[in-house]
């Protein structure tokens, strides 16, 4: 009907759900991005700005932020959207969110250092076999 590609449709729905959500009965709900909703509703920013903000705040680094820091970041991004073009806002927003997420992702337990040593006698009786893993070196 709108002649949108599937990816464009997904972006439109993601922004609408974050900025102007409604219940199944059509009642307005509290927006997930209130500062962005105010700026978009007041025609201070356009849909492309709101898409950038929604996408950046849905990223893994943004999800790791504390709730109050996330809310503050959303307000700051809505303010920057009033000044920057969407293509400029993408870079600034990503860099800033990465900076706020200083700890990064949680370490993977699989990366723990493993020290193992296996000794086996040769079946023929002479010599044997040594196999081990020390730190990050395989023998």
Binned at pLDDT 50, 70 and 90, residue 113 comes out as low
Rounded Cα–Cα distance for residues 119 and 113 (Å) = 20
* Residue 65: alpha-carbon gap to chain centroid: 10
Q: What is the pLDDT of residue 139?
A: 45
Res 111: pLDDT:
54
Higher pLDDT pick, 90 / 9:
90
Q: What is the pLDDT of residues 44-72, one digit of tens each?
A: 999 999 999 999 999 999 999 999 999 99
**What residues contact residue 75 under an 8 Å CB cut-off, 6+ apart?**
35
d(CA 2, CA 76): 32
- The mean pLDDT of 107-135, rounded to a whole number, is 74
Closest CA to 103 of 63, 54, 50: 63
Percent residues over pLDDT 70 in the chain: 88
pLDDT at 88: 96
Q: What is the model's pLDDT at position 8?
A: 86
Predicted TM-score of the model (pTM): 0.69
Across the chain, where does the E strand assignment appear? 114-121, 128-135, 137-138
């Amino acid at each position: 009907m709108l002649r949108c590609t599937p990816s464009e449709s997904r972006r439109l729905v993601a922004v609408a759900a974050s900025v102007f959500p409604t219940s199944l009965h059509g009642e307005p709900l509290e927006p997930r991005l209130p500062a962005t909703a105010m700026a978009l509703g007041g025609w201070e920013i356009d849909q492309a700005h709101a898409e950038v903000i929604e996408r950046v705040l849905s990223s893994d680094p943004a999800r790791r932020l504390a709730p109050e820091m996330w809310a503050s970041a959303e307000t700051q991004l809505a303010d920057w959207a009033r000044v920057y073009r969407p293509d400029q806002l993408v870079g600034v927003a990503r860099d800033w969110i990465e900076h706020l997420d200083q700890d990064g992702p949680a370490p993977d337990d699989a990366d723990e250092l493993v020290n193992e040593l296996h000794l086996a006698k040769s079946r023929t009786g002479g010599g044997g076999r040594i196999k081990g893993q020390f730190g990050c070196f395989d023998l």
